[in-house]
A and B are shown apart, each in its own frame.
Chain A
Amino acid sequence: MTTAAPLEVRSLTKHFAVRSAFRRTHVHAVDDVSFDLRHGTITALVGESGSGKSTVARLLAHLFEPSDGAVIFEGVDVSRVRRRQDVLRYRSQVQMIFQDPFASLNPVKTIRHHVERPLRIHGIVPPAQIEERVHELLRTVGLVPPQDIAAKYPHELSGGQRQRVAIARALAVEPRVVLADEPISMLDVSIRIGILNLMLKLKEERRIAFLYVTHDLASARYVADDILVMYAGQIVERGPIEQVLSEPLHPYTRLLLAAVPDPATKLRAQRIEARKGRASAAVDPQEGCRFVTRCPLAIDVCSRVTPELVEAQPQQAARCHVTAPAPSS
């Protein structure tokens, strides 16, 4: 089945200049990142903190302007639109859900206010129908009875309920794309699954294209169809999630998988050798693979030549000289 891609990301790049007392460095937070988000598909974007995954989500939400590259929404490059009207129109189609449901709601406003505001601003329904639509949205995200919930303030709700409010608010404008930045990492374990199931339901019923940003591979496997693995600003592996997690190509993906707690095995005691202070590989990167200093498979070429993203398996690509060598070499 071919699904149209409402959002195409092409060579997206974001560099931040960091000035210190003596020198000026550039953090390559996002470097030449390309992927598609398709209707009715959840794409997981995983990586460690500082890998640039949240920056990608924020670039797509138009919270920053990229240094280079394009974000193509339904055929139009929206990465540099500036007119308020155009930005608003884009944001009504591409919504974001943030990590912290405690910080993303206004504590002095009721839940009704949060959900009806986008309906008014974007003129989604006639004013007479707003009340009804608010209740419908709250029911959609599993907040019942909606009349009671709508009258409450954020502090009266649990973390999971608050995150559901944030999702209802995002859905109010009937978006085609939802960017979810670590939406469950601050929630209690027992209610995380509920939010993930809600994402699955919305993907199926509303054909929403989701970008699910997370560092948790297990939850990514539970909801996502495709996976993008980021390391030091670059995508180092991408492909169908089941395939990537069962046969990972990139050594970093393998490292991530090995680090996930596995109840079936006991942790091995291990002394960690002192690492000499090393700046992140995304700061003023040199030619060569950015993972080379941590890589168990590194060979000579790795520190000299930057690997390209090579499709070594059908639909599965990795940026590695060893496991996904370029066809010519």
Chain B
Amino acid sequence: MTAAVEESASVRTREAALLEIRQLVVEYGAGERPARAVDGVDLAIGEGEIVGLAGESGCGKTTVANAVMQLLRPPARIVGGSILFEGEDLLGKSAEQLRRYRGRNVSMVLQSAMNALNPVMRVGDQFVDTMRAHERIDRRRALMRAGELLELVGIDRGRARSYPHELSGGMRQRVIIAMALALNPQLIIMDEPTTALDVVVQREILQQVEALKREFSFAVLFITHDLSLLLEFADRIAIMYAGEIVETAPAEQLAVSPQHPYTQGLLASFPPLTGTWTRLTGIPGSPPDLRDPPVGCRFNPRCPHCRPEDHELYVRQTTERPKLRIVAPGHEVACHLIARGSE
């Protein structure tokens, strides 16, 4: 039964996927015990779709992003799986092909985008460099385009003459987003793009990304630890824990019916702004060391449903890795509790 379910899952995603990650495995470090930062991740992103990848620090979400951008450097290395962009595997492309792919097809807004700008170059010149690395365009026209792009993200075009230090954090972040749009890519990867900003600016920027997405119809892979943000912003959400995806679902569905105990714990870690006060517990313990992850389900040491009293289940939880199973259309969960319920 399991095999059939997995088959149908991959057939379904193959139809319209812009990007498809299949069974990706990435390791850091060499020797007997390398750390598997990403261990068998499947993720598909359709055209114009906003997919959120959420998880705690060290769960491998940034490594997935870097793998998609083909930016992994030793000691990180891809040891298994494939990354298909419009059906073509990126692993095996030449350096020049990858250079063209970055920017034209996929661009990235980095975690510390505040520091991603060159401090001694005017903002406009940095746009010109980006554009001229990928297409034949003269300087004057490139600067014009830079001005248009800045206006798209709500920055006065005269700011093209500013140096990065003359801009606020929120403006620098918008400049980076404008730069990511410069080559009209099909997919933009955003890795914690608003984490360093305060809530008001964060909201403005996300509303703007949403508006730009409607206009230019690019897809977004949005990586964050802030699940509450994704519920509002993303079409579909994948929850990552210790190198694995443990649950994926449409955002609306995840908000109302999270199935994995880790997802439930994450959602219960955000204190509400309204309603009666209730004591929250968070999730006890901390994420595992990926050089030596727990056997069986990796969440088992922190899982409230993993108890020796329930012997049969406990044995499976501590010996067998749960697989992603479909529980509802578009909703997949990797948890032994679910498997038990459906059999």
Contacts and interface: CB of A to CB of B under 8 A. Distances in A.
B210 A221 contact: no
B273 A189 contact: no
A216 B151 CA distance: 30
Interface string B151-194: 10111110100000000010000000000000000000000000
A192 interface: yes
Interface stretch (B40-48, B73-81, B121-129, B198-206): B198-206
A194 B279 CA distance: 11
Contacts of A259: 199-200, 202-203
B271 A221 contact: yes
Interface string A251-289: 000011111111111111111111111000000000000
B270 A189 contact: yes
A190 interface: yes
A222 B271 CA distance: 6
A260 B274 CA distance: 12
Interface string B200-232: 111110111011011000000000011111011
B269 A190 contact: yes
A120 to B, nearest CB: 30
A272 B206 CA distance: 10
Given A188-B56, A222-B277, A161 B271 contact: no
A257 B265 CA distance: 24
A277 B156 contact: yes
Given A189-B266, A218-B270, A161 B286 contact: yes
A246 B159 CA distance: 40
Contacts of B153: 272
Contact of B273 (A48, A221, A267, A272): A221
A287 to B, nearest CB: 24
Nearest to A47: B198
Nearest to A265: B232
Nearest to A257: B273
Contacts of A78: none
A180 B270 CA distance: 19
A260 B156 contact: no
A179 to B, nearest CB: 20
Nearest to A157: B286
Contacts of A270: 204, 207-208, 210-211
A199 B60 CA distance: 31
Contacts of A216: 199
Given A193-B281, A261-B229, A261-B231, A188 B57 contact: yes
Given A263-B228, A274-B151, A158 B286 contact: yes
Contacts of A48: 198-201
A238 to B, nearest CB: 18
Contacts of B56: 188-190
B337 interface: no
Interface string B32-44: 0000000000000
Nearest to A219: B271
B282 interface: yes
Interface extent on A, as a size class? 35 or more
B4 interface: no
A274 B265 contact: no
B301 to A, nearest CB: 13
Given A48-B198, A215-B199, A269 B211 contact: yes
B272 interface: yes
A67 interface: no
Contact of A261 (B157, B232, B266): B232
Contact of B227 (A189, A262, A265): A189
B273 to A, nearest CB: 5
Contacts of A313: none
Contacts of A256: 199-200
Contacts of B303: none
Contacts of A268: 207, 210
Contacts of B214: 269
B48 to A, nearest CB: 13
Contacts of A222: 271, 277, 280
B90 interface: no
Contact of A275 (B156, B203, B227, B266): B156
7 contacts: A49-B197, A193-B271, A260-B273, A265-B232, A268-B207, A268-B210, A272-B208
Interface of A: 48-49, 158-161, 188-194, 196-197, 215-219, 221-222, 245-246, 255-277
Interface of B: 56-57, 150-151, 153-157, 159, 169, 197-204, 206-208, 210-211, 213-214, 225-229, 231-233, 255, 265-266, 269-274, 277, 279-284, 286-287
Closest 5 CB pairs of A and B: A193-B282, A272-B154, A222-B271, A270-B207, A190-B283
Given A188-B57, A261-B226, A262-B273, 11 more contacts: A190-B265, A192-B282, A197-B280, A221-B277, A245-B273, A256-B199, A267-B206, A269-B211, A270-B207, A270-B208, A272-B154
